[in-house]
A and B are shown apart, each in its own frame.
Chain A
């Protein structure tokens, strides 16, 4: 089971990177970044999975048996942080895209040659 999730996570990373590298539209490039981000998060959560164990929330399980019945909570906490940072970065990128569009009335990356050498 964890292999399926791990493979889909890696596939999402590859799809995201492909989107970033090959798309011409700024919005699509930003979508590529978010897909990339999601893939990394899925891989991180899966790495913390322990076979046959449940979520690290002690509502039914008593604290004494926590050690033998929960998955690793540390990657989940890391991913929670990563999602929020990803949200902030995505919002910033979208605003830059908006500003570029207001400036040049186009979203095609080929029309932005100011920093090209």
Chain B
């Protein structure tokens, strides 16, 4: 009873604070500060039609590198926590037969899902989208494959290879930026190209391709590890 009262009290206090924030919010009439700088100079300096991508990949590229690292760390810890002990016998768990509908549909849809994912991360500098979104779409395709065929084993070697190569390539592009352009992860090491076309914005499409592959591989790895761990013999 006291616990419930405490919870209600805490939530009411927080709601009161939010109310204070809400009535002091007037909405913005114009862009100010950093936002106006990016709006004025983003297109000229970076050449990406999608200003959010320009910020994520170039202006705050170091944050994105950290973000990818955090995702990698999460995947690594999941792999570590769910590691089966040596003496644990891995047996195929009894699975219900998947329906004809799911199996057939997945064969048709999965290639399309992969294509959409690739499209999203290649066009990340032009349309809403980017490496993370595209990678998540690709991982959803892997999840559908796993649902259609629960005993499928996602090869750890392939996933790890894709992941390491794209991670190294991301950092290598960043270092090339120091050598050939203005600094770490500067996208001007490639020509900026014509604004608004697929081959524009310097290295952003390249970086987004590697981020997309890396995120897709990492999320597939997480799904695969969890699925594989379910094969553990029930004790």
Q: Which of A10, A21, A59, A74 touches B196 (beta carbons < 8 Å)?
A: A59
Contact at A21–B27, with CB atoms within 8 Å?
no
CB distance from B196 to the nearest CB of A (A): 7
Complexed CA–CA distance, A77 and B57 (Å): 10
Q: Is the CB of B64 within 8 A of A81?
A: yes
- Enumerate A49-81 residues with CB–CB distance to B below 8 Å: 49-51, 55-59, 63, 66-68, 70-74, 76-77, 80-81
A94 to B36, CA, bound (A): 40
Q: Give the size range of A's interface with the partner.
A: 35 or more
A88 CB contact (under 8 Å) in B15, B42, B74: B74
Interface of A, secondary structure class, is helix
Asked if A22 CB lies within 8 Å of chain B CBs, one says: yes
Which segment, of B122-130, B143-151, B153-161, B162-170, faces chain A? B122-130
Q: B77 and A92: CB pair below 8 A?
A: yes
CB within 8 A of B44: which of A56, A59, A63? A63
Q: A21 near B52 (CB under 8 angstroms)?
A: no
Residues of A near B40 (CB, < 8 A) are: 66-67
Q: Are A80 and B226 in contact (CB under 8 A)?
A: no
Q: Which one of A59, A88, A96, A102 contacts B70 once the chains associate, using CB atoms below 8 Å? A: A88
CA A71 to CA B226, docked complex, whole Å: 40
Q: How far is the CB of A7 from chain B (nearest CB, A)?
A: 7
Complex partner residue of B229 from A10, A51, A98, CB under 8 angstroms = A98
What is the CB-to-nearest-CB distance from A43 to chain B, in angstroms, rounded to a whole number?
9
Q: In the complex, which of the residues A14, A67, A83 contacts B31, with contact meaning CB atoms closer than 8 Å?
A: A67
Residues of A within 8 A of B222 (CB): 91
Residue count of chain B within 8 Å CB distance of chain A: 57
Contact status A98-B226, CB under 8 Å:
yes
**Contact between A96 and B81 (Cβ–Cβ < 8 Å)?**
yes
Q: Are A50 and B82 in contact (CB under 8 A)?
A: no
Q: In the complex, A92→B73 CA distance in Å?
A: 10
Chain A residues contacting B36 (CB-CB under 8 Å) are 67
- Are A74 and B35 touching (Cβ within 8 A)? yes
Binary interface encoding of chain B residues 23-44 relative to chain A, with 1 for a CB under 8 A from any of its CBs, else 0: 0010111110011101110111
Contact with B along A1-27 (1 / 0, CB 8 A): 011001100100110011001100000
A92 to chain B, nearest CB (A): 5
- Which residues of A sit under 8 angstroms from B180, Cβ to Cβ? none
Q: Is A85 on the interface with B (CB-CB < 8 A)?
A: yes
Chain A residues, CB < 8 A from B232: 102
Q: B18 touching A21 by the CB < 8 A rule?
A: no
- Residues of B at under 8 Å CB distance from A? 4, 7, 10-11, 14-15, 18, 21-22, 25, 27-31, 34-36, 38-40, 42-44, 49-52, 54-56, 60, 63-64, 67, 70-71, 73-75, 77-78, 81-82, 126-128, 130, 132, 136, 195-196, 215, 222, 226, 229, 232
Closest 3 CB pairs of A and B: A63-B43, A88-B74, A72-B35
